[in-house]
Structure 1
Amino acid sequence: MTFDPVMPGIVLAVAAATLLALRAVALLPAARAGRTSVARWAVTTVALLLLVLAAARPVTGSAAGERNAQRPQEGANIYFLVDRSSDSAIPDFGDAPRITAMRSDIEEVIRAHPDARFAIIGFAARPSIDWPLSADAWSLQPAVDALTPYPGIDSTEVNAAAAANILRYQLISAGQQFPQAENLVYYLGSGAGESTVPQGVFDTPRIDDGAVLGYGTGPGEARLREIAGQLGLPYVPRRDGAELPSDRAPESGTATATDPATAPQPTELYWVLTMLATALLLVEIYLTTRDLRRTRAVRRQAPS
């Protein structure tokens, strides 16, 4: 078994130590209250520790150790920069809004790279990391399905390059963690054609492949072409029903770790741990609710 934590191991270790210290403080009152309270203390403590362990993302399988050793050379780092402004709600892809076509294109890229790591950076006036860089494509799907236009942001306030700084730092971090992995960037947007605010500029480390995917036409298209030039990527206007162009294929005769036939698939265990923790916490919630109801009933029956 190996671990692929969602955050630095030292952070998880500090979190676990802090949690144990706090739970140790709560043990003495529980012990004074009797065995039932100690049992409930233990259930809650175990549930919280299971959540910390789930954050460490344990991975098992016959090839788990080999996969972990080769991780810096495996797969690609793929970043999706998704325009979640009100422009993405315009229904010019049949009767569907642009964000629907964006989600479909994202899913197609994910299917084409089964061993890659993915990140989603949404933006409108400001950026946000909607999904940190991770190889957990199974859990990524709900995050893709949840991509919708931000409410309450006027189209005149959109910065088409709002994700520039976050992307830059993400690429620098990935270069340190996965020095031999390729970095692919897919920008999906409309170009903020109605925006009246100053627009940012992309200044990033080397990007190996990807594309700037444009949805809709008009004044935003020129800005999308500028962004494509800044990123060093081709500009691809998207049309309803058009196929998404694939990125370049690996060189012939070169075996890569991203080949599904050669890359071993580990088994993620974090979801088992989170389900167990949830079940234990639900028991504690039920017992706490029951105790509160009993306390209120006693107070009502007590003579004034």
Structure 2
Amino acid sequence: MAVGTMTFAPLVPWPLLALACVALLSFTAWTLVLRKRSRPQQPWKPAALRSAAVLLLLLAALRPGWTGGQAQTGTADLDVFFVVDTSTSMAAEDYKGTSPRLSGVQQDVMAIAKELAGAKFSLITFDNKATVRVPLTQDATALQTAMATLQPQNSRYAKGSSVTGAAQLLKDRLQTARQQHPGRPALVFYAGDGENTSAEAPSPMDSANVAGGAVLGYGTGQGGRMKETSNADAGYVRDRTSDTPQDAVSRMDEGQLRTIADQLHVPYTHRTGTEPTSDMLSHARPGAITAMTPDGPGRVELYWLLALAAFLLAIHEPLRHLTALQSLRPAVRKEPTP
């Protein structure tokens, strides 16, 4: 396998990493000088090893690598953002009959990731607030783990959510991705039921920097009941707005979803669990993306070597304390001679 030039794909903007490195080196130098002046007999090696371990982790965050290997060239130059609604309504049991809506999202997201193998993926979720669950990465396993553990918001903490609650966070992430990799297309797949429970009107989604994608809708007009938590034994959310409380029913709002699709300039598709994955991707890819080929240039990741070296340096600390503990011996009390 031939390798080429060194490249970097930082997990966070490199100026922040550079600032952290400078701060670490300055703090280490100041600490060692202060230690030498005030406590010259105290060993300096442990502090230096700890700082070296942190420095290696910061360098690993730059994600160095050699060009080489193989990748699917049709998708290797794509950033794919999944924006997933995790509000309580996504627990409504009207997907494929009686399954929670979020289970459909989990299946579809991983199906898309499989079709776009080689791309970088990011997962953003929103309910009362928006959160980046997975930053842009080519590690599909990280995305799979995050999706497998994703749960709807506990009804106890639900305070009303906007269907565009992730609009600003998505906009910021798209801008950052474009600044780091100019010209790299970004796809956005929005997955939700369109039910807006916020007292405020949804803010519009910004289509800037969005090259394609789709809005995926889940649920039915008839709606479904929602479990209070993901626990199988949990009760259903109750509607207590009337004198006779009953199980609350969540109904999808396709009108809201179509509006979001129009704002992002991407197609809308209703997902019921019977449609093929091609329905989500038939109009989602930007026209600049070429057909996939299995033998395009890839990238050999080297960050794990730096992480391993940091681990080997850091393990010295617990070993040092363990050795110190083992060296301690209980004092032997001498009995007075008669």
TM-score when normalising by structure 1: 0.79
- Deviation, 1:241, is 4.2
Bigger drift between 54-63 and 183-192 goes to 54-63
Bigger drift between 215-224 and 51-60 goes to 215-224
* 2:88 is the counterpart of 1:82: no
Which residue does the alignment assign to 2:231? none
Which residue does the alignment assign to 1:93? 95
- Deviation, 1:57, is 0.7
Which residue does the alignment assign to 2:62? 56
CA distance in 2, matches of 1:133, 1:159: 24
After superposition, give the CA deviation of every residue in 1:208-238 in whole Å (9 maximum; x if it has no partner): 3211111112352221122122222222111
CA distance in 2, matches of 1:207, 1:61: 27
Q: 1:40 to 1:88 in 2, by over 3 A?
A: same
* 2:275 is the counterpart of 1:242: yes
Which residue does the alignment assign to 1:126? 129
Equivalent position to 1:32, from 40, 51, 69 = 40
Flag structure 1 segments of 5+ consecutive residues without an equivalent.
none
Which residue does the alignment assign to 1:192? 195
2:65 is aligned with what amino acid?
V
**1:143-182 mapped onto 2 (5 Å cutoff):** 143-151=146-154, 157-182=160-185
CA distance in 2, matches of 1:97, 1:283: 48
- Deviation, 1:206, is 5.4
Which residue does the alignment assign to 1:9? 14
1:230 is aligned with what amino acid?
Q
Q: Report SS of the residue matched to 2:44.
A: helix
Q: Report SS of the residue matched to 1:162.
A: coil
Q: Report SS of the residue matched to 1:111.
A: helix
8 Å Cα contact 1:155/1:192 also seen in 2: no
Q: Report SS of the residue matched to 1:228.
A: helix
Bigger drift between 153-162 and 119-128 goes to 153-162
2:272 is aligned with what amino acid?
R
Which residue does the alignment assign to 2:241? none
- Deviation, 1:157, is 0.6
2:83 is aligned with what amino acid?
L
After superposition, give the CA deviation of every residue in 1:104-155 in whole Å (9 maximum; x if it has no partner): 2111111111232222221112222222233343443333333322345655
1:87 is aligned with what amino acid?
S
2:264 is aligned with what amino acid?
L
Q: Percent identity?
A: 31
CA distance in 2, matches of 1:169, 1:209: 17
1:24 is aligned with what amino acid?
A
CA distance in 2, matches of 1:174, 1:264: 21
1:264 is aligned with what amino acid?
P
2:91 is aligned with what amino acid?
A
CA distance in 2, matches of 1:233, 1:50: 42
Which residue does the alignment assign to 2:49? 43
**1:208-223 mapped onto 2 (5 Å cutoff):** 208-217=211-220, 218-223=251-256
Q: Report SS of the residue matched to 2:189.
A: strand
8 Å Cα contact 2:28/2:48 also seen in 1: no
Which residue does the alignment assign to 1:233? 266
8 Å Cα contact 2:213/2:284 also seen in 1: no
8 Å Cα contact 1:6/1:57 also seen in 2: yes
- Deviation, 1:202, is 1.4
8 Å Cα contact 1:27/1:38 also seen in 2: yes
Q: 1:25 to 1:177 in 2, by over 3 A?
A: closer
Q: 1:172 to 1:50 in 2, by over 3 A?
A: closer
Which residue does the alignment assign to 2:206? 203
* 2:25 is the counterpart of 1:20: yes
1:51 is aligned with what amino acid?
L
Q: 1:154 to 1:42 in 2, by over 3 A?
A: closer
Bigger drift between 158-167 and 189-198 goes to 189-198
CA RMSD of aligned residues (A): 3.5
2:138 is aligned with what amino acid?
A
Q: 1:155 to 1:242 in 2, by over 3 A?
A: farther
- Deviation, 1:298, is 8.3
CA distance in 1, matches of 2:129, 2:303: 32
8 Å Cα contact 2:187/2:284 also seen in 1: no
Q: Report SS of the residue matched to 1:204.
A: coil
Q: Report SS of the residue matched to 2:10.
A: coil
2:177 is aligned with what amino acid?
A
CA distance in 1, matches of 2:206, 2:146: 27
More helix by share: 1
